[in-house]
């Protein structure tokens, strides 16, 4: 294996039931044990004490883990030993004991839970070190690992379902339960950045890799998961090393091929062509394809028409932008998993402020939790504003003059065009003045700029409007309420 393969190690091999152990099933179990432990103890504790654990091997009833120092070993044994035993036993009924040894060398691979490092499958890493016996070593060597690693946190259990993603979730579940049923093949997941496409894909792969209770009618399943970028990279590497036949054969030998972020193939004609042939060969052979992209097949201009057509032939499911409710549920689930008390108003505040990307929402919450743990202080709205100062600033919404004009016109039932018209009737002139006032308050536009956007009016007209509205707010409580309501609507 070349060093280029280091982040391509995860491969999910045929999975049967609890009575046929193989290293990959073991690997999936180990990832789940770690994942569960992490969600039970929280990220901070996990990172402090547990993340350096490595799987060294399994011998009959005993699993052996390693930690780099005696201190860590004793601590983990004392505090988490029982939990490790129980989690392993629940994964594999034959395991009765977890032994922890000291091994200063570590796993020899980056920490799979470290967001910054490339995810590497721990079993593969251990195998490389010669620590883990695997029954199917020969087969594995003959078939180079193609897949990228799976994130142990990206499971169905950890995916919060709400209106915007329930359809995509149901489709992913369905494919995981019984791949290659024609109505769901290919499964095409699409949506904006950070809405859970990769999460759902990994969840499908985990499920297929590790579910001993899968419907036997669905048969044995091997899965290859990779990003489109990796697909291209592997393809080019195969051309260079004159091993394209092996590359093709390997890809065509899997039961489920999952390619993430397909939009990457736009403009990469040769790779697209190769993907198209692989795709056809697999679908024709009754194998499952799961693909994700940032747009629907019909909107992926730049992909060949014939590929777009085939991609749209199965099930196309989009992940819509999150709603406020879904964001609250995701935050709550993540706070619960970290065993952290986060006041509801803080969750609401975050869900209001960070609206586009779940990854950023998650990052903000993690930072709050880490901060609270570090200083032993509870999370409050004030501390949130302080700790997340930079993130919140970046997410401050830019309110546009058009938006203000639209909202104000709607509120007083006038036409938006009247914001720029020459009409001077009070019913039109007063809302126009309010819109100017709000434009001054809520945007960074100068008075002349604002004037221009209101039918080329002079800056002194804007000045007059601002002063007049301020005066009315002082005098008329009903009017003040209207303006305040508009401001809040625009700011939310």
For ligand ADP, the binding residues (CB under 6 A) are 154, 158-160, 165, 191, 193-199, 330, 358-359, 362
In terms of DSSP H, where are the helices of 99-227?
122-128, 137-142, 166-177, 197-210
Total binding residues for Mg ion by CB under 5 A?
2
Query: What residues between 196 and 215 interact with Mg ion by CB under 5 A?
Result: 197-198
Minimum Å gap between C-beta 259 and ligand ADP is: 13
Minimum Å gap between C-beta 292 and ligand ADP is: 7
365 binds, among ligand ADP, Mg ion, none (CB under 5 to 8 A by kind): none
Minimum Å gap between C-beta 149 and ligand ADP is: 14
Minimal CA–CA distance to 334: which of 213, 199, 186, 219? 199
Q: Kindly tell me which of 80 and 264 has the beta carbon lying closer to ligand ADP.
A: 264
Please answer whether residues 259 and 291 qualify as being in contact, where contact means their C-beta atoms are separated by less than 8 angstroms.
Answer: yes
Q: Kindly tell me which of 198 and 433 has the beta carbon lying closer to ligand ADP.
A: 198
DSSP per-residue letters across 292-361: EESS-GGG-BTB-HHHHHHHTTSEEEEEPPPPHHHHHHHHHHHHHHTT----HHHHHHHHHH--S-HHHH
Please, is 224 exposed, middle or buried when counting C-beta atoms within 10 Å of its C-beta (0-12, 13-18, 19+)?
A: buried
Minimum Å gap between C-beta 197 and Mg ion is: 5
Q: Kindly tell me which of 263 and 329 has the beta carbon lying closer to Mg ion.
A: 263
Minimal CA–CA distance to 201: which of 169, 157, 246? 169
Q: How many CB atoms lie within 10 A of CB 19?
A: 8
DSSP per-residue letters across 430-461: HHHHHHHHHHHHHS---HHHHHHHTTS--HHH
Q: Give the residue carrying structure tokens 């030993």.
A: 81
Minimum Å gap between C-beta 194 and Mg ion is: 8
Q: Kindly tell me which of 165 and 198 has the beta carbon lying closer to Mg ion.
A: 198
Q: Kindly tell me which of 45 and 261 has the beta carbon lying closer to ligand ADP.
A: 261
38 binds, among Mg ion, ligand ADP, none (CB under 5 to 8 A by kind): none
Minimum Å gap between C-beta 165 and Mg ion is: 14
- Residue number of the CB closest to ligand ADP reads 196
Q: Kindly tell me which of 75 and 167 has the beta carbon lying closer to ligand ADP.
A: 167
Minimum Å gap between C-beta 104 and ligand ADP is: 32
CA dist list (Å): 122 to 26, 59, 86, 108:
10, 17, 20, 9
Q: Give the residue carrying structure tokens 């007209």.
A: 461
Determine the straight-line distance between the first and last CA of the chain, rounded to whole angstroms: 53
Q: Kindly tell me which of 67 and 149 has the beta carbon lying closer to Mg ion.
A: 149
Is the C-alpha dihedral spanning 391, 320, 411, 433 positive or negative? Answer: positive
Q: Kindly tell me which of 35 and 196 has the beta carbon lying closer to ligand ADP.
A: 196
Minimum Å gap between C-beta 337 and ligand ADP is: 10
Q: How many CB atoms lie within 10 A of CB 373?
A: 16
154 binds, among Mg ion, ligand ADP, none (CB under 5 to 8 A by kind): ligand ADP
297 binds, among Mg ion, ligand ADP, none (CB under 5 to 8 A by kind): none
Q: Kindly tell me which of 101 and 163 has the beta carbon lying closer to ligand ADP.
A: 163
Q: Kindly tell me which of 121 and 198 has the beta carbon lying closer to ligand ADP.
A: 198
Binding status of residue 165 toward Mg ion by CB under 5 A: no
145 binds, among ligand ADP, Mg ion, none (CB under 5 to 8 A by kind): none
- Beta strand pairing call for 54-59 and 62-67: antiparallel
195 binds, among ligand ADP, Mg ion, none (CB under 5 to 8 A by kind): ligand ADP
Compute the half-sphere exposure of residue 224: CA atoms within 13 Å on the CB side of its CA.
Answer: 27
Q: How many CB atoms lie within 10 A of CB 212?
A: 16
358 binds, among Mg ion, ligand ADP, none (CB under 5 to 8 A by kind): ligand ADP
Query: What residues between 179 and 198 interact with Mg ion by CB under 5 A?
Result: 197-198
DSSP per-residue letters across 361-400: HHHHHHHHHHHHHHHT----HHHHHHHTHHHHHHH-----
Minimum Å gap between C-beta 198 and ligand ADP is: 3
Write out the residues near Mg ion by the rule CB under 5 A. Answer: 197-198
């Amino acid at each position: 294996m070349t060093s280029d393969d280091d982040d391509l190690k995860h491969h999910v091999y045929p999975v049967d039931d609890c009575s046929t152990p193989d290293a990959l099933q073991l690997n999936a179990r180990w990832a789940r044990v770690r994942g569960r432990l992490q969600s039970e103890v929280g990220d901070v504790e996990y990172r402090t004490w547990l993340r350096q654990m490595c799987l060294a091997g399994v011998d009959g009833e005993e699993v052996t883990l390693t930690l780099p120092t005696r201190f860590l070993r004793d601590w983990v044994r004392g505090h988490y030993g029982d939990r490790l035993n129980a989690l392993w036993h629940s994964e594999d009924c034959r395991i009765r004991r977890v032994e922890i040894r000291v091994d200063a060398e570590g796993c020899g691979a980056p920490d799979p839970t470290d967001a910054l490092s490339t995810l590497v499958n721990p079993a593969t890493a251990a195998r490389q070190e010669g620590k883990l016996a695997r029954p199917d070593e020969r087969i594995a060597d003959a078939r180079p690992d193609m897949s990228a690693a799976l994130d142990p946190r990206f499971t169905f259990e950890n995916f919060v379902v709400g209106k915007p993603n329930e359809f995509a979730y149901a489709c992913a579940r369905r494919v995981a339960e019984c791949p290659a049923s024609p109505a769901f093949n290919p499964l095409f997941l699409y949506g904006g950045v950070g809405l859970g496409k990769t999460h759902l894909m990994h969840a499908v792969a985990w499920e297929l890799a590790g579910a001993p209770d899968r419907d036997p009618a669905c048969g044995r399943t091997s899965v290859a998961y990779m990003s489109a970028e990796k697909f291209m990279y592997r393809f080019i590497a195969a051309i260079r090393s004159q091993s394209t036949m092996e590359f093709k054969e390997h890809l065509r030998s899997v039961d489920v091929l999952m390619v993430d972020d397909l939009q990457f193939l736009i403009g990469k004609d040769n790779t697209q062509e190769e993907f198209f042939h692989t795709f056809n060969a697999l679908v024709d052979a009754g194998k499952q394809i799961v693909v994700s992209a940032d747009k629907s097949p019909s909107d992926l201009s730049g992909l060949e028409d014939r590929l777009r057509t085939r991609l749209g032939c199965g099930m196309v499911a989009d992940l819509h932008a999150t709603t406020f409710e879904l964001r609250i549920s995701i935050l709550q689930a993540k706070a619960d998993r970290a065993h952290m008390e986060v006041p509801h108003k803080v969750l609401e505040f975050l869900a209001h402020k960070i609206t586009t990307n779940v990854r950023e929402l998650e990052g903000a919450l993690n930072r709050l939790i880490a901060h609270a743990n570090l200083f032993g202080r509870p999370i409050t709205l004030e501390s949130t504003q302080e700790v997340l100062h930079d993130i919140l600033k970046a997410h401050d919404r830019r309110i546009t003059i058009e938006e203000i004009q639209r909202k104000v016109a709607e509120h007083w039932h006038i036409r938006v065009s009247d914001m720029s018209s020459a009409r001077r009737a009070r019913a039109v002139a007063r809302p126009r003045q309010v819109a100017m006032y709000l434009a001054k308050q809520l945007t960074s536009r100068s008075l002349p700029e604002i004037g221009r956007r209101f039918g080329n009016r002079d800056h002194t007209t804007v000045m007059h409007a601002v002063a007049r509205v301020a005066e009315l707010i002082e005098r008329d409580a009903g009017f003040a309420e209207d303006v305040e309501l508009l401001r809040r609507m625009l700011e939310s």
